Every structure is written in C-alpha cells, then in structure tokens.
Structure 1
Amino acid sequence: MPETTYILGAVLVMSAVTYALRAAPFVLLRNASQAPLLGYLSTALPPGIMVILVVYTVRGVDFGHFPYGVPALVATAVCAGLYQWRGSPLLAIVLGTGTYMALTHLMA
C-alpha cells in the first residue's frame, strides 16, 4: 500500500497538470483573437464537423431492410431544418434525437 504522502503528491501533481492544460489555451491565445487563421477556422470548422457527424451517424444504417433508414434520415432532416430555422444547435440536437428515438420505437 503506498504511503499517504506519495498519494497526496500524486494527486497534487495531477491537479497541477490538469489546471495547466486547461489554462494553456487561454494564456497562449489571448493575443491571437485577431489572427486570420482563427477567423477562418471559426467559420469553416463547425460545418465540417457537422458533415463528419452526419456521415458517422448514417454510415451504419441498413437501407436494405425495414425501416430502411427512415428514422435516421428523418431525424437528420429535423436537425438540419431546426438549425436552419431557429439557429439553435441545442434545440436541433434535442429534437433530432427525440425524433430518432420516437421513430425507432414506433417503427420497430
């Protein structure tokens, strides 16, 4: 059994490293808010990440058997439509997930 001082030291070191890793982006990027690369990434990454998530979600759907991917496709359309209409990612995710779960249970 390790000694109490060893465990306390390990916890303190882990806490310091965790704090430093969480604070590092704020410290390192405080003057980079006007950088052109960050401006580009802030506009280009969200749609790219959404495309990756949609492809990841739909890639495992079996379109050859009932329910033929209807729940996934309808839920994806609901998410996209709600996001375009209201501009709220949280609303789109919650209602899209609810739509998918409801259709999965209704069509099973």
Structure 2
Amino acid sequence: MSNETLYLVSFILVTAVATFLTRLMPFAFLGKHSNHPLAQHLGRYLPAGIMAVLVAIFLPRAAHWQTPVFGLDALLPAALVIVLHLWRRNALLSMLAGTICYMAIQQGVINLV
C-alpha cells in the first residue's frame, strides 16, 4: 500500500470515528436528562427553527433570480416544505421532500424552463 493510499484510508477512518462519536455524545451524556424542560423545548421547536432558516435564508440566496422562471428553483422546494409541514407536521418528511425536490431541480431532473 502506498503512502498516499494509507494516508487516505487513515483520514477516512479518523473522520468516520469522529463523526460517529459526535453523533453519539449527546445521547450518552444527555440521555438521562430527556425530561428536562430545556431538552423538551429544543425537541419541540428546533426542527421548525431549522426549517425556517433553510426556507427563509438558504433557499432565497441559492435561487437563480435572473432566469425566466424568477427564482422558482428555490421557491418551489420552499413551498413544498411549508405545505408538507403544515399538512403532516412531520419535520423529517418536510425536510426530506424539500431536499429531494431542490436536488432534482438542481440536477436537471425537473426542468423548470
């Protein structure tokens, strides 16, 4: 195995372990505090806050406002996220559907022109 391959494999391994540990730590250290009012507040309002940031800040900045469809590439996924969340009240479904719609538009699967 060459030095470059060894470096890449070790880099991927260290990154994977670090990612796993950062995902595990909140559950390991805060698991017994799940009934704490702050944890319940964050669990209730954080998904909607994240969606608001994505819809209100990220999507309008990523839109192509000079095209003939005037930002529809960002407004369509944003509307989908809002409608799905108001209809089903499922943050995961809303974010997943909005992300899939946005990526389909960006990759050219959905043609808006």
Query: How does the TM-score come out when normalised to structure 1?
Result: 0.61
Deviation digits for residues 43-74 of structure 1 (CA, Å, limit 9, x no counterpart)? 22111111111121221323344110123212
Which whole-Å CA distance do the structure 1 matches of 2:23 and 2:94 have between them?
Answer: 29
**Stretches of structure 1 lacking an aligned partner (at least 5 in a row):** 2-9
**Stretches of structure 2 lacking an aligned partner (at least 5 in a row):** 2-9
- The residue aligned with 1:84 is 86
**Percent of residue pairs identical:** 32
Larger Rg: 1
Pick closer, same or farther for the CA change 1:70–1:44 going to 2, 3 Å. Answer: same
Query: How does the TM-score come out when normalised to structure 2?
Result: 0.59
| Residue number among 62, 67, 70 corresponding to 1:68 in the alignment | 70
Matched, 1:106 2:111: yes
**Runs of 4+ residues over 3 Å off in structure 1:** 17-24, 88-102
Pick closer, same or farther for the CA change 1:35–1:80 going to 2, 3 Å. Answer: same
Which whole-Å CA distance do the structure 2 matches of 1:90 and 1:25 have between them?
Answer: 19
* Number of residue pairs aligned between Structure 1 and Structure 2: 98
